[in-house]
Amino acid sequence: MKDSRIRGADIVIRSLIAENAKYIFGYPGGAIMPVYDALYDYEDQIQHILTRHEQGAIHAAQGYARVSGKVGVCMATSGPGATNLITGIADALIDSTPLVCITGQVASYLLGTDAFQETDVVGISMPATKWNIQVQRVEDIAPAIAKAFHIARSGRPGPVLIDITKNAQVALGEFNYVPCLNIRSYKPYPKVSDSDIDLAAELIDRAERPYLLYGQGVIIGKAEKELAAFLDKTGIPAACTLLGTGALSEEHPNYVGKLGMHGNYGPNLLTNKCDVLIAVGMRFDDRVTGDLTRYAKQAKVVHLELDSAEINKNVRCAAPVLGDCKISLAKLTEKVKPAKHDAWTAKFRELEAEEKRVVVGNDLLPTKDGLTMGEVIRHINEFKADDAILVTDVGQHQMVAWRYFEYKTTRTQVTSGGLGTMGFALPAALGAQLHDYNRQVICVVGDGGIQMTVQEFGTIMQTKAPVKVVLLNNNFLGMVRQWQQLFFDKRYSFTELENPDFQKIAEAYRFKSQKVEKRGDLREAVAEMFIHDGPYFLEVVVEKEDNVFPMIASGSSVEEVRLS
């Protein structure tokens, strides 16, 4: 009789195929070599993307996961391969991104002996994963992967890690994939309670100045339509968090802007004027709330949230609605009375006009000589498609691009929000592009961040992913410089950079490229970038010492949002 058993390494790949994983972002090495050997036989069923660094692999997996809504898969070897994943794992945890990370580990008999490339990866990754496990036996591989996918994508998504010893990869075992549907200790979708809905509806119906804040929970929960329906019926003005951006079209009549340290003027200021604050799928991050002791104290808070640990964590909540917001929003919409809040919404519009007059005009249509980051984004808006995806790094360019990019559909915003990981954008843009080669993916990045993962130009070159990389170069670590200017007496300690010729680097990776230093050349260069079929690198030399406003200084109240 023929032996039906296959290697553990084959089981790994066939399990990933069974979970419909399209890509593995990874980097080979000693302890994961059997899996790479197996991969050779499945090239027609699953695609491996060889990045140039493991950090690039995991950020690419994140970018893919964020735009596709699927689980991103990445793979690395033991020791340094695995530790290079940690930044991405921490990023994915705080930004609720579903990932399955597979790491090779030294053989069981070598564990704890300080063997070559042995690191306690389960220990190191524990505080940054939603769940992790070490697998030492071939028969445990498929069940671990099944459990990992279920945990990564259900409830509040997050990264999981499976560390597989080399002996388990080479041992023979039966392959019989059973997807994991239930774990008795894990209840990812608490049932929405009708009494919670009743109380929330009562507060909303009685409110004179209700205000809704939406976060990434709406996107993760696929509740975009439910959110729009709720807003249509209630007439409540709504603002988004950084990661919630795109869940509601910015053309929706109730959309009033963005929250947070560099969000819009009205949405921050009026947080302390509303009487009922409805938070949907957001976690009151400190970059949104500023000083909590002076945050929305006058308001009764209604919090629609899937993760019970988020309720009452930062802000006291009068009416918690625990559960999936797709369900709770629909129920709430049914329950509340139709209403209009035109006079209250007009207050947002007044402040919006003031912000336009003081800040936006100068950002988008500057009269000074130096180029602004804002005008670059203005030209991107001119040529981009409605469903174009914007991937940003971390810093000034991130905030400016976020403020001015016109988001019209969901899952068009990819950035490192919670962790603020510089170097995120370039690999994440690659991952986003791989999800759909036909969509525009624009990677806006600063001169600091691009140098943290610049090697991923190589992966873009190899995959031919037509990513449009826009470098906003001010020769500074601009956000840190801004803080030094405002809060550290202009002591510009280690923020000015002597930069390489970025265009030459891009060209070395066979990118078509252009460098713009004068306003007169900008529009045409942006247009050319979009017309070009393939990866493109556009460097724009911008004003060295521009600041991002509005701004809520760290530790200040949302009321203290400044326009200059």
Partner 1 sequence: MKRYTISVFTENFIGILSRITLIFTRRGINIDGFTASESREEGIYRITIEVTTSEEQIIQLAKQIDKIVDVIKAFYYLDDEMVFQEIALYKIPISSLDPGLEKVIRQHSARIISAEKEFVVIELTGHKEDTQQLLEVLKEFNVLEFVRSGRVAVAKPMETIDKYL
Token pair in block for residue 24: 């593995």
Helices (H), 52-85: 54-68, 80-83
Nearer to partner 1 (CB atom), residue 124 or residue 497 = 124
- Least distance to partner 1, CB of residue 187, Å: 8
Q: Which one is catalytic: 130, 147, 166, 326?
A: 166
- Does the protein bind partner 1 through residue 484 (CB under 8 A)? no
> Which residue lies nearer to partner 1 by CB, 153 or 262?
153
The answer to whether residue 297 is catalytic is no
Is residue 116 part of the annotated active site? The answer reads yes
Residue 219, phi then psi, degrees to nearest 5: -70, -50
Terminal-to-terminal C-alpha distance of the chain: 79
Specify the stretch interacting with partner 1 by CB under 8 A; choose among 122-130, 222-230, 231-239, 281-289: 122-130
* Non-local CB neighbours of 282 within 8 Å, separated by 6+ positions: 213, 214, 215, 216, 217, 241, 244, 288
Q: Binding marks (x or -) toward partner 1, 168..187, rule CB under 8 A?
A: ---------------xxxx-
What Cα–Cα distance (Å) separates residue 388 from each residue in 409, 425, 440, 514?
9, 15, 5, 21
In 3-state terms the chain splits into helix, strand, coil percentages (rounded to 5) of 45, 20, 40
Decide whether 151 or 390 has the Cβ nearer to partner 1. Answer: 151
Q: Which two tokens mark 200?
A: 């929330």
Give the pairing type, strands 172-173 and 6-7: antiparallel
What is the CA angle 201-204-209, rounded to 5?
Answer: 175
Q: Does 440 bind partner 1 (CB under 8 A)?
A: no
- Segment interacting with partner 1, rule: CB under 8 A, options 18-26, 124-132, 274-282, 352-360: 124-132
The contacts of residue 334 (CB under 8 Å, 6+ apart) are none
Q: Which of 307, 517, 559, 560 binds partner 1 (CB under 8 A)?
A: 307
* Contact range with partner 1 by CB under 8 A, out of 39-47, 81-89, 304-312, 486-494: 304-312
Is the Cβ of residue 33 or residue 124 nearer to partner 1 in the bound state? 124
Q: Mind giving me the DSSP string for 79-145?
A: THHHHTTHHHHHHHHHTT--EEEEEEE--GGGTTTT-TT---HHHHHGGG-SEEEEE-SGGGHHHHH
Residue 367 within binding range of partner 1, rule CB under 8 A: no
6 has which bridge partners? 173
Among 308, 385, 437, 563, binds partner 1 (CB under 8 A): 308
Is residue 161 part of the contact set for partner 1 (CB under 8 A)? no
Instruction: Candidates 15, 55, 103, 134: give the one binding partner 1 (CB under 8 A).
Output: 134
- Window contacting partner 1 (CB under 8 A); options: 246-254, 307-315, 348-356, 489-497: 307-315
Q: Which is nearer to partner 1, 170 or 180 (CB)?
A: 180
Sites of contact with partner 1 (CB under 8 A): 122-123, 126-127, 130-134, 151, 183-186, 307-309, 312-313
Give catalytic residue positions.
Answer: 54, 116-117, 166, 479
